[in-house]
Structure 1
Amino acid sequence: MYKKIISLLIFIAFTACKTRPTTTFTNKVETKNTTVDYSKLVVNEFTGDLAYNTTAFVEKYWRVVGNTGFNKSIHKVAEELEKAGFIKEEKTNSSTILTYRIEERPLKKTTWESVAASLTIQGEKLPLLQNSTNSNMIALNSYSTPKKGVTAEVIYIADVSKLKDTNVKGKIVFVETSPARVFNTAVVKGGAAGILSYSNPSYLQPEKNTTSIQFRSIPQNKDVKGWAIALSYHAKQRLKKKLQKEKVIVTANIKTNIYPSTELTLVADIKGAVAPEQRLVYSAHVQEPGANDNATGVGVALEMATLTAKFIKEGKLSPKRTLTFLWGDEIVSTRRYVQEDKARAKNIKWGISLDMVGENTAITGGSFLIEKMPDPSAIWTRGNDKHTEWGGSVLSLEQMKPHYLNDFVLKIFKEQGKRTNWEVNTNPYEGGSDHTPFLAADIPGVLFWHFTDQFYHTDNDRLDKVSKTTLKNVGTAALISAYTLLNANKHTAKIIISDIEKAAITRLNEELKQGKLALAKGGKLQTQINIINAWQNWYTKAINSTLDMVTSTSSINATIVNAQATIKLTAEHCIAELKR
């Protein structure tokens, strides 16, 4: 009798879920008097032109915080914001909607920029490397060599553990690892003249992309004024072949600029009309040497900001909450924005990182990804879930961040994918970008990005790897997401609750399938039950998080309770199936 009652309840729950009418929150978000169609508003207006042109401007520079290229990029964005109607904060009043400011702080350390470099094997006319074609060859923080360069014998250290016992004084040390790993032993303690290094990971496909160099760095040391050169696969092979035959002497000629500077962060606000203290923050870091990483994020954020300004001026949009854009130093600027003003941080409702968002995946590989807030897939990664080659560590249940944001943005991006035949995927939480400071402060945060990219962090990450179509897709979906959240109310919350309920049922049934496969391979039943319970708990709390959209909890309490009951029944059914 008990089993029949449970089965009947589960049948009713599933039937209710299946027969419930589907509402697309990106297309129909109700307000008091109107129904706004955000997708049509944005799809026809976000062209990707400004995003692409900004990417082209920024990618010309090897950008380090405080250097010429970084600062020019910040001022270029500010210039475009002013054209769109944003006003410097010191010239505004309380009624100004579009504002921006450039925060300026002294850098604790000097900044750095590369100027020129060449590496030549003695007796050969053709340089082994030159900065004009391999802009990443000079390791970050390297000092200039004397004007005529440094000419010295190359000594190859195959086993870096033996470096400390090798006499390298006055020689150029060649290693196949990061130069930072051996800098202190080789240069500071060993007196080496410099370092040549090779350490391109396999996902860069170095035997195919033989000229690529992934940028490297060394500690900045004003006493020894050391330097290092990173090698491409082609240069590494050529040098090793030469070393097998004879003693090799090279001349390294490096010119860099190292100087005191200031750190700039650009903050643009689009003030909300009803609850301006509440805000959604998009963060796009400026530093890095490439086009996709992260000139594309800078460009997409700028077009999003300027297009929003246009809609407001034309009377097509009136955000209830504030939309903020940050351009600055990766993680550092975002962390400061979150930490320096506790009252402001308390009202940041969502934080999203735009990082590597314009890729031509036919060239770079991989796909567009939404890196989710920590959910159980970051503990038990299986089925369609998988970490990228960037890699992620296993999290714990205590590190979970249950929230509707994961499934909310995924649905909007999937809808944009259907409109334009664009692939959208997700990956479990890995960290490493501007979403991490938000999450560390218990602010819901996700990352929009691409991976794997076979040109990631290399000097072949240039404008020809960027797709204007991708810039448009990401910017369009990101703006639809933003407008929906900024004007969210009880109607939005109810739609999201329904969508999360469906997502939870799909996930629990997938975990039931994966659990059965695990048991067939000898896995423990209790582990599979724990996984089901973890997902039930995560989704139950995610549904509860929709309360942040409403002023009166009573308006959606019944919807929350019903959805949570359905999820609980589904989880119980899955566990019962596992126990059979």
Structure 2
Amino acid sequence: MKGIKKIICICCSLIVITSLVGCNGVKDKSSSLSDITSIKFKDFSKDISEDRIYSTIEKLSAKDDARITGFDGEKDAASYISKEFKDMGLSVDEQEFPVTAFKCNDVEVKIDIPESKVVESKALTFSKETPKEGLTSEVVNGYMGTQTDLEKAKVKDKLVIIQRGGDTFKNKTERATAMGAVGVIFFDPNSEEPLSATLVEPTKIPAVTISKADAEYLNSTIITSKKGLKATLKVDSQCIDSKSKNIIATLKSKKKDAKTLIVGAHYDGVDTPAANDNASGISTVMESARILSKKNLDCNIKFIAFGAEEIGLVGSNYYVQSLNSDDLQNTIAMINADMVGIGDNLCVYTMDSSKDSLTADLAVSCMNNFQYDNRRDESNRSDHVAFEAAGIPVAYFEYGPFVDYHTDKDTADKINKENLSNTCNVITSLCNEIGNNPERFSK
């Protein structure tokens, strides 16, 4: 593994929802009372500087390991974002919270038998360290890492290769631990590189990722080699106490007792340049804030740059938990932007398809109005989750597909400027529509 890999974990307990399925969306009951398809959304495309958004992405993703939570890169990004918001004339507050920073100094997967070969790898966040000499053991194929798969593989005292999917890295690692495995080697069938990922909390055995090609080679060798397959796994890691923060910039309404609309994006990243995930989202939100800062709306807008998303949606959870019942009741909706620079389809997500969402329906209507290719779907993998769980309507924007997710190829040169402009236009138009008609769109 190149350089020092640093990843973070939260020091408070969180509930992580692990299901992810598709949906067609459900019409909000109130939408029948106010036909949102007839709304003529204001087009802000001429006010948007896609070059300025792109320039901000370049700044935030200028190096590898650019903004890992709790370390200097994330702190520098927070200071930059805070200053930019203040320069727009917005009122800025910083909400700090503790995290435990995970640092991986080195990781190695070395094949010993049938041939000597080092396989590129990454340690998962919270991976347990190994002895300095590493762990040497037979390697077996654990397929999807289900109870049945691991029983058939006879993983006791062995290193086990497990494919991503169907369950969390954490659950699969704990299952392998309970059955006596000494370490887990994960791979993503959709990624050509070792994936950066988290185990959510410390585990009792080391866990790493390798590329799809290397995993296929190892699994093939298990079948064809008469000598079997033996490997040595080394992980040099440690945890330190640190802090992250949310940057909260408020555009205040002159209207007395105004309600509040929240527009957010996380600014931290995994151990990559993290250009699309999520320098693209926060840079787009900042451009929207710059445009809207010149307007006098009938509701407050809070533009929030969330810290520590990559380690379990920590910053957004912390923010929502800080709200009292009046704050929650006074919040109209939450708009979220995550990975909006790459792909050919602008998707709007909510967490639960069984619940009505006028905000998401409004978003779809806006995208249709601008004739953007779009899709309505469901996800629980970004900062909208805590808000929806608290009863606040949400609309989470993401472009896709994005094949370089959580890899070192997530660089600024891959970003499509038109995607940035389209996303910013929709977000700004939604804020303008809701901001001028807050009572109409309040839950």
Structure 1 or 2: more strand by fraction: 2
Alignment of 1:255-334 (within 5 A): 255-275=236-256, 277-289=258-270, 290-309=274-293, 312=294, 317-328=295-306, 329-330=308-309, 331-334=313-316
For 1:43 and 1:302, the matched residues in 2 are separated by: 15
In the TM superposition, residue 238 of structure 1 has moved relative to its aligned partner by 2.0
Q: Which of 309, 316, 326 is residue 343 of structure 1 equivalent to?
A: 326
Partner in structure 2 of residue 546 of structure 1:
440
Whether 2:103 is the aligned partner of 1:72: answer no
- SS, match of residue 334 in structure 1: helix
C-alpha spacing 1:343/1:162, structure 2 compared with 1 (3 Å): closer
Whether 2:373 is the aligned partner of 1:424: answer yes
C-alpha spacing 1:285/1:408, structure 2 compared with 1 (3 Å): same
C-alpha spacing 1:187/1:548, structure 2 compared with 1 (3 Å): closer
Structure 1 or 2: more helix by fraction: 1
For 1:480 and 1:214, the matched residues in 2 are separated by: 36
CA contact (8 A) 2:343 2:399 kept: no
CA contact (8 A) 1:112 1:141 kept: yes
For 1:77 and 1:49, the matched residues in 2 are separated by: 17
Alignment of 1:180-191 (within 5 A): 180-187=170-177, 190=180
For 2:334 and 2:128, the matched residues in 1 are separated by: 38
In the TM superposition, residue 196 of structure 1 has moved relative to its aligned partner by 1.4
Partner in structure 2 of residue 230 of structure 1:
209
Q: CA RMSD in A?
A: 3.4
Partner in structure 2 of residue 172 of structure 1:
159
Number of residue equivalences: 388
In the TM superposition, residue 296 of structure 1 has moved relative to its aligned partner by 1.4
In the TM superposition, residue 81 of structure 1 has moved relative to its aligned partner by 2.4
Q: Which amino acid aligns with 1:76?
A: Y
CA contact (8 A) 2:249 2:304 kept: yes
Deviation digits for residues 428-454 of structure 1 (CA, Å, limit 9, x no counterpart) = 444443333333333322111123433
For 2:437 and 2:411, the matched residues in 1 are separated by: 39
For 1:480 and 1:167, the matched residues in 2 are separated by: 55
Compute the TM-score of the two structures, normalised by the length of structure 1. 0.59
Q: Which of 345, 354, 366 is residue 412 of structure 1 equivalent to?
A: 366
Unaligned runs of 5+ in 2: 1-34
Q: Which amino acid aligns with 1:44?
A: K
Alignment of 1:94-105 (within 5 A): 98-105=90-97
Q: Which of 105, 108, 119 is residue 109 of structure 2 equivalent to?
A: 119
| More divergent stretch after superposition (265-274 vs 277-286) | 277-286
Compute the TM-score of the two structures, normalised by the length of structure 2. 0.75
C-alpha spacing 1:336/1:484, structure 2 compared with 1 (3 Å): same
C-alpha spacing 1:305/1:157, structure 2 compared with 1 (3 Å): same
Question: Which has the larger Rg?
Answer: 1
Partner in structure 2 of residue 242 of structure 1:
221
Q: Which amino acid aligns with 2:231?
A: V
CA contact (8 A) 1:62 1:113 kept: no
In the TM superposition, residue 268 of structure 1 has moved relative to its aligned partner by 0.8
In the TM superposition, residue 183 of structure 1 has moved relative to its aligned partner by 2.8
Partner in structure 2 of residue 467 of structure 1:
416
Deviation digits for residues 60-100 of structure 1 (CA, Å, limit 9, x no counterpart) = 43755434443333223123223x244xxxxxxxxxxx211
Q: Which amino acid aligns with 1:138?
A: A
Q: Which amino acid aligns with 1:81?
A: F
- SS, match of residue 208 in structure 2: strand
In the TM superposition, residue 140 of structure 1 has moved relative to its aligned partner by 1.3
Deviation digits for residues 284-320 of structure 1 (CA, Å, limit 9, x no counterpart) = 12344243232211211122223434xx2xxxx2223
Partner in structure 1 of residue 398 of structure 2:
449
C-alpha spacing 1:185/1:262, structure 2 compared with 1 (3 Å): same
In the TM superposition, residue 332 of structure 1 has moved relative to its aligned partner by 4.0
In the TM superposition, residue 237 of structure 1 has moved relative to its aligned partner by 1.8
For 1:181 and 1:440, the matched residues in 2 are separated by: 23
Deviation digits for residues 371-427 of structure 1 (CA, Å, limit 9, x no counterpart) = 3686xxx4xxxxxxxxxxxxxxxx3xxx334x3x3443333333434xxxxx33131
Q: Which amino acid aligns with 2:245?
A: L
Partner in structure 2 of residue 51 of structure 1:
53
CA contact (8 A) 2:298 2:435 kept: yes
CA contact (8 A) 2:141 2:219 kept: no
C-alpha spacing 1:428/1:470, structure 2 compared with 1 (3 Å): closer
Q: Which amino acid aligns with 1:351?
A: M
Q: Which amino acid aligns with 1:26?
A: F
Partner in structure 1 of residue 27 of structure 2:
none
In the TM superposition, residue 162 of structure 1 has moved relative to its aligned partner by 6.5
In the TM superposition, residue 219 of structure 1 has moved relative to its aligned partner by 5.9
For 2:104 and 2:150, the matched residues in 1 are separated by: 28
For 1:464 and 1:318, the matched residues in 2 are separated by: 36
In the TM superposition, residue 168 of structure 1 has moved relative to its aligned partner by 3.5
For 1:78 and 1:99, the matched residues in 2 are separated by: 10
- SS, match of residue 262 in structure 1: strand
In the TM superposition, residue 115 of structure 1 has moved relative to its aligned partner by 4.1
Alignment of 1:532-571 (within 5 A): 546=440, 548=442
C-alpha spacing 1:128/1:100, structure 2 compared with 1 (3 Å): same
Partner in structure 1 of residue 12 of structure 2:
none
For 1:349 and 1:185, the matched residues in 2 are separated by: 42
In the TM superposition, residue 52 of structure 1 has moved relative to its aligned partner by 2.1
C-alpha spacing 1:61/1:126, structure 2 compared with 1 (3 Å): same
For 1:261 and 1:335, the matched residues in 2 are separated by: 17
C-alpha spacing 1:45/1:219, structure 2 compared with 1 (3 Å): closer
Partner in structure 2 of residue 61 of structure 1:
65
Partner in structure 2 of residue 150 of structure 1:
134
For 2:130 and 2:41, the matched residues in 1 are separated by: 57
Unaligned runs of 5+ in 1: 1-19, 28-38, 87-97, 131-136, 362-366, 379-394, 418-422, 490-544, 550-580
For 2:200 and 2:436, the matched residues in 1 are separated by: 47
In the TM superposition, residue 125 of structure 1 has moved relative to its aligned partner by 6.9
* Identity within the alignment, %: 20
C-alpha spacing 1:436/1:180, structure 2 compared with 1 (3 Å): closer
For 2:392 and 2:180, the matched residues in 1 are separated by: 47
Q: Which of 427, 430, 433 is residue 481 of structure 1 equivalent to?
A: 430
CA contact (8 A) 2:350 2:396 kept: yes
Whether 2:123 is the aligned partner of 1:138: answer yes
In the TM superposition, residue 126 of structure 1 has moved relative to its aligned partner by 5.7
- SS, match of residue 349 in structure 1: strand
Deviation digits for residues 91-122 of structure 1 (CA, Å, limit 9, x no counterpart) = xxxxxxx2111111223xx2224444332323
- SS, match of residue 326 in structure 1: strand
Deviation digits for residues 309-352 of structure 1 (CA, Å, limit 9, x no counterpart) = 4xx2xxxx222321111122444433443442322222211211
Q: Which amino acid aligns with 1:49?
A: D
For 2:135 and 2:442, the matched residues in 1 are separated by: 65
For 1:373 and 1:262, the matched residues in 2 are separated by: 28
For 1:215 and 1:292, the matched residues in 2 are separated by: 14
C-alpha spacing 1:125/1:299, structure 2 compared with 1 (3 Å): farther
